[in-house]
Amino acid sequence: MSFDASLAATAVGSFPHQDVDAVCKLVLENFPEIPACPQLPATSLNEQMEIQYSEGLPCVVIDRQKGRMYFDTSGDTTSALERFYENYLAENLDYFTLSRDFAHGIYAIEKYLNQKKPPEMKYMKMQVTGPVSFALTVVDENKRAIYYNDMFRDVIVKGIAMKARWQLRRFKPLCEPRICIIDEPILSAFGSSTYVSVSRDEVVSMIREVVEAIHSEGGLAGIHCCGNTEWTIPIDAGVDIINFDAYTYGESILLYPEQMKSFVESGGVLAWGIVPTSVDIERETTNSLADKLLGLVNQLRLKGIDREIVIHNSIITASCGTGSVPVDRAERIVKETKKVSDILKKVCIPCN
């Protein structure tokens, strides 16, 4: 699928609101070209980052009193695993549904789009928690990361892949060009002493399996990491879009000039998280953020990466999701993201 967003704006995903209708209206008003499915962790434990994608996974325990989830692998897990793999092999996407109780935002944005789709709409964006972040964050009954259980690590990868496919297929009638972003915040810690036993090949393989699932549904696959990481990992995993914190770590992509040049010139998309979700938003202006991004684009040009191609294959986002910030700041971030997109289009598009 070719890409043509040319500096359109969209959301990373999470919002701090409890009013789902208010969020959908906010999304559609500010991101009409690329509406995003909102994730609403403040509404329920069910919409926390990993829990939201846990339905249908075997041996999951959600401890609502302690506000956490874990896998109980202590007993006989055979029948639970058999049921999971039977549905996976049968490609029964209904089994991997994100139910309304776990995904209010998906159903609400779908309702609004069915009622009135923005005429400017080019893509529909959704997301899943990345399999690496999920597996290294969620633990078993002994509080050991489930990543280190080979069977359940495979379960997580395949479960996430199927949930991505379910979303992509659900929104196909509304918008054929669809984007699914794999949220992998833990990649910023890859290579640290904490995860010294986590192999790069395994990380690439896990992400690639989800990417291939997204591609099988005709979607564009992206990755989001709100910290610094080894950006060749998502490139090697075959992603189409890299969504990164360009505000704080923008120059990190310059460390891989050859790989970035190949990525961009072969159609890869950069989703610039140029609008900070931190208190830094208070001291920035639309012009200062636009100038910061243009400075990074110019540095890519100096590395031999064609400016016109970069502009053509760019999306504007916030640096991260806004689920943990105050509502008023989240709304300012959304509006600022749109304003930065608008000013960049005025400055850059006539040049192309």
Q: What is the pTM of this model?
A: 0.96
Q: What mean pLDDT comes out for the span 110-133? A: 97
| Residue 137 to residue 152: CA distance in whole angstroms | 13
pLDDT of residue 323: 95
Q: Which three-class secondary structure state does DSSP give residue 205?
A: helix
Q: pLDDT tens digits, residue range 33-86?
A: 999 999 999 999 999 999 999 999 999 999 999 999 999 999 999 999 999 999
Q: How confident is the model at residue 352 (pLDDT cuts 50, 70, 90)?
A: very low
Task: Give yes or no for residue 166 having a pLDDT over 80.
Answer: yes
The residue with greater pLDDT, 196 or 170, is: 170
Sign of CA dihedral 178, 187, 226, 131: positive
Predicted local distance difference test score (pLDDT) of residue 1: 55
Query: How does pLDDT run across 261-318, given as a tens digit for each residue?
Result: 999 999 999 999 999 999 999 999 999 999 999 999 999 999 999 999 999 999 999 9
Does the structural domain 8-351 have CATH classification 1.10.150.120?
no
Residue 253: what pLDDT? 95
Residue 294, exposed/middle/buried by CB under 10 A (0-12, 13-18, 19+)? middle
Tens of pLDDT, residues 122-158: 999 999 999 999 999 999 999 999 999 999 999 999 9
Whether the per-residue pLDDT at 3 is higher than 90: the answer is: no
Mean of the per-residue pLDDT values of the chain: 95
Quick one: CA torsion of 283, 289, 295, 300, rounded to 10 degrees? 130
Tokens standing for residue 319? 């640096």
Contact predicate 127/180, CB 8 Å: yes
Residue 192 has pLDDT above 80, yes or no: no
Section 212-222 average pLDDT: 98
Q: Where are the domains of the chain?
A: 8-351
| Residue 32 pLDDT level (bands cut at 50, 70, 90) | very high
Give the pLDDT score at 223: 98
